[in-house]
Amino acid sequence: MNPTIKDVAKHANVSIATVSRIVNGLPGYSEETKKKVQQSIEALGYQPNAIARGLINKRTQTIGVLFPDVSGMLSSEVLEGVENAAHDGGFSVIVCNTTSSGKRTVKYLRLLQEKRVDGIIFASEDVKEEYYKIFQEMKVPVVLVSTASSKYDLPFVRVNDFDGAFQATEYLIQKGHKVIGMIGGSDEDPIAGVPRMQGFQKALENNGLSFTNSHIKKNEGYRFQNGKESLPLLLKKLPDMTALFAASDEMAIGAMSAAHELGIRVPEELSIIGYDNLKIAEMCYPALTTVSQPLKDMGQTSGEMLVSLIIGEQQEAKSRYMPFTIVERQSVSNFRDK
Amino acid sequence: MNPTIKDVAKHANVSIATVSRIVNGLPGYSEETKKKVQQSIEALGYQPNAIARGLINKRTQTIGVLFPDVSGMLSSEVLEGVENAAHDGGFSVIVCNTTSSGKRTVKYLRLLQEKRVDGIIFASEDVKEEYYKIFQEMKVPVVLVSTASSKYDLPFVRVNDFDGAFQATEYLIQKGHKVIGMIGGSDEDPIAGVPRMQGFQKALENNGLSFTNSHIKKNEGYRFQNGKESLPLLLKKLPDMTALFAASDEMAIGAMSAAHELGIRVPEELSIIGYDNLKIAEMCYPALTTVSQPLKDMGQTSGEMLVSLIIGEQQEAKSRYMPFTIVERQSVSNFRDK
DNA sequence: GCGTTTTACGTAAACGTTTACGTAATTCCC
DNA sequence: GGGAATTACGTAAACGTTTACGTAAAACGC
């Protein structure tokens, strides 16, 4: 259907080897034949077949990216970075939406294996043994983004969640707050759950502030609804709370929404700091002060890391902790005794 | 490296043809050899090579999706739907972030052509002649989502923007509003720009309300900042405006933010209706009343349409207008004379 | 001007499948 | 029980490339 290298060769009266060499910029032909062949390519509209290339080169110039939730705002930004880096490195990216399901994840990994992708980016989830085994079978580089693995030695790109939570809490303390609550994740979540709660606790303790179980409302998810439902519950246990650290922006905004409904003014009566710095953080009112994860950058960096592992620039990738910053907007105020 | 069909054949003492038949569920072997071969497959951990398959079948089981902005909230939701449909149909999806650049778009199309994708989904942008030529060269089905083309005959999946805008405006009118402004897109945008402004105008005229150029503030983009900057300008020209239709949720929320800063209460003093029903629409405060586009559904539908075109279930796809609804939240109130 | 190196190609194998075709053995029909 | 139809395979070509190897001609060195 499409013209092949053979058609070009015939049209230009040379061998397919010569055409191949010219197409790939290898040496071994005169300037004259090069022109002739290029004209034939132009005339026939020849496009090399990446499939055939892949078969012989054992390189598909394609990577796979697995997200628990492609349409999540966190994933989308990371994806943009990954795609950008991949494209710059000459790779295409296949997206996989695992919906946090182990079965689906395995199915996708098998698919990526059959498709012979050259590498994998695994985002925002814990690496189960099952997954790791497939990684090993596949013998392609893998880099984790926005997650890490304690059990397995896989390079990651992420921010230090403990530090982020610690700093966020310190920030509230510096603003004069004494009674600070947290809307957190789950004890079962080693990525965004535990470390953020530990960072929070540590900051309180370091500053001689009280910390009890009542200071944290845990949640299974990190969504708007989780935050919205958590605020009233947290306020019940911690009525004189003046500041709140939420383990995600969505939860922070959910809490903000609940506060509005309860007639609690933000930040005058309740200061709120989030975590992530999603696009919505600057769109809500009051604009959300939050711990900024450089999501697009993280995607970009993990993408670059992966391609450099694939093309063999480096043998072992060095994991990277990305810098976070606290971006100050309007949801946190100084605490003043009334 | 990985075991091939040959290894399996040798291990099971049969020919590669037999292995192939068994793997693909074709007839032509005894129950006995089937078991034997399956054991060999298991023992060696054989995975068929999709690249080699693609070469001979001329099918890669892969589609390409082009977005102007992958990380946009609109794109992400559409992408989720597309990915879901594709996966159900046995296809993988390669994402491409065109950043609305013609050059990049062409580069991506060429890449998808070389990679021999089986079909293309083209989202949210106008189809330029250049693109259409490549579509034709590629000889693969294309479906448009969240866009359409007047010049070229390509199947699309979208909502009727004129109607959506018309209904949104009617809704405000039913609420008793007489002076209604709009924050719109650009006259150069035939997709989301012109029809939404026309729908707005038509609704006003149908109801005997005044419409002038001052009723619409046009914008190059549809982002938060566009909305935020537009509100003051619009208010200057239309000081007694009591309701506002924004051509996107982001702009609506931008306007809401500006209103907060100007001390204008929403919805008591200014009602706002958006367009899209992004996830943020229910997260802002007050929650945004908006025209809901079934984004995920649109993605899903376009994905299904594309696979059915690829596998030849249908020859010609019928374009589909998806139903929109107005989801009522808290940003619109009844107008009461003061 | 003769041997040696270099240049400019062409030939053919290889990548891992699918599948048309061939063939021997089995089953079937009467 | 003998010919026809069926079953259960195997052989080899094909898909569109890349690339190792071979070779004739040209260029070079002295």
What is the rounded average pLDDT of the residues B23-30? 90
Taking the CA of residue A29 and the C1' sugar atom of nucleotide C4, their distance in angstroms comes to 21
Mind listing the pLDDT tens digit for each residue in B166-180? Answer: 999 999 999 999 999
**Whats the size of chain A, residue-wise?**
338
**Which segments of chain A does DSSP mark as H helices, in order?**
5-12, 16-24, 31-44, 50-57, 73-88, 102-114, 129-138, 161-174, 194-206, 224-237, 249-262, 295-310
Q: In the predicted model, is pLDDT for residue B296 greater than 80?
A: yes
Work out the mean pLDDT of chain B and round it to a whole number. Answer: 94
Report DSSP state, residue A92: E
State the nearest Cα–Cα gap between A182 and chain B, in angstroms.
19
Query: Which residues on A lie below 8 Å from B136 (Cβ)?
Result: none
Taking the CA of residue A17 and the C1' sugar atom of nucleotide C13, their distance in angstroms comes to 13
Instruction: Output the CA angle B285-A213-A190, nearest 5 degrees.
Output: 80
List bases in chain D with any atom under 7 Å of a protein Cβ: 7-12, 14-20
Exposure of A288 by Cβ count < 10 A (0-12 exposed, 13-18 middle, 19+ buried)? buried
Give bridge partners of residue B291 from the DSSP assignment: B275, B326
Residue B244 confidence (pLDDT): 96
Domains of chain B: 5-48 (1.10.260.40), 57-159+295-322 (3.40.50.2300), 161-292 (3.40.50.2300)
Take residue B112 and report the two structure tokens written for it.
């998808």
Look up tokens 């994998």; give the residue: A120
- The phi, psi pair for A276, rounded to 5°, reads 135, -45
Taking the CA of residue B269 and the C1' sugar atom of nucleotide D23, their distance in angstroms comes to 89
Query: Which residues on A lie below 8 Å from B257 (Cβ)?
Result: 283, 285, 287
A282 touches chain B (CB under 8 A): yes
Nearest to B118 by CA among B90, B146, B158: B90
A189 touches chain B (CB under 8 A): no
Query: Which residues on B lie below 8 Å from A5 (Cβ)?
Result: none
Residue A185 confidence (pLDDT): 94
Q: How far apart are CA B323 and CA A326, in angstroms?
A: 42
Nearest to A122 by CA among A144, A98, A141, A150: A144
Kindly indicate the confidence band of residue B338, based on its pLDDT and cuts at 50, 70 and 90: very low
Q: How far apart are CA B226 and CA A75, in angstroms?
A: 25
Residue A316 confidence (pLDDT): 80
B329 touches chain A (CB under 8 A): no
H/E segment holding residue A244: strand A243-246
Between A1, A47, A87, which is nearest B113 by CB?
A: A47
The pLDDT > 70 percentage for chain B reads: 99
| CB of B125 closer than 8 Å to CB of B147 | yes
Residue B2 confidence (pLDDT): 87
Nearest to A146 by CA among A134, A160, A133: A160
Look up tokens 């055409």; give the residue: A19
Q: In the predicted model, is pLDDT for residue B337 greater than 80?
A: no
**pLDDT in single tens digits along all 338 residues of chain A:** 789 999 999 999 999 999 999 999 998 898 999 999 999 999 999 999 999 999 999 999 999 999 999 999 999 999 999 999 999 999 999 999 999 999 999 999 999 999 999 999 999 999 999 999 999 999 999 999 999 999 999 999 999 999 999 999 999 999 999 999 999 999 999 988 999 999 999 999 999 999 999 999 999 999 999 999 999 999 999 999 999 999 999 999 999 999 999 999 989 999 999 999 999 999 998 999 999 999 999 999 999 999 999 998 777 878 999 999 999 999 999 976 54
| CB of A179 closer than 8 Å to CB of A242 | yes
Give bridge partners of residue B120 from the DSSP assignment: B64, B142
Look up tokens 């709660």; give the residue: A197
Contact A48 B114 (CB under 8 A): yes
Nearest to A311 by CA among A135, A118, A137, A82: A118
B43 strand C contact, CB < 7 Å: no
Nearest to B166 by CA among B209, B198, B189, B214: B198
A98 touches chain B (CB under 8 A): no
B47: CB partners within 8 A, 6+ apart: A110, A113, A114, B2
Nearest to A47 by CA among A23, A27, A25, A21: A23
Q: How far apart are CA A301 and CA A85, in angstroms?
A: 7
| CB of A143 closer than 8 Å to CB of B79 | no
Query: Which residues on A lie below 8 Å from B72 (Cβ)?
Result: 76
Take residue B142 and report the two structure tokens written for it.
């294309």
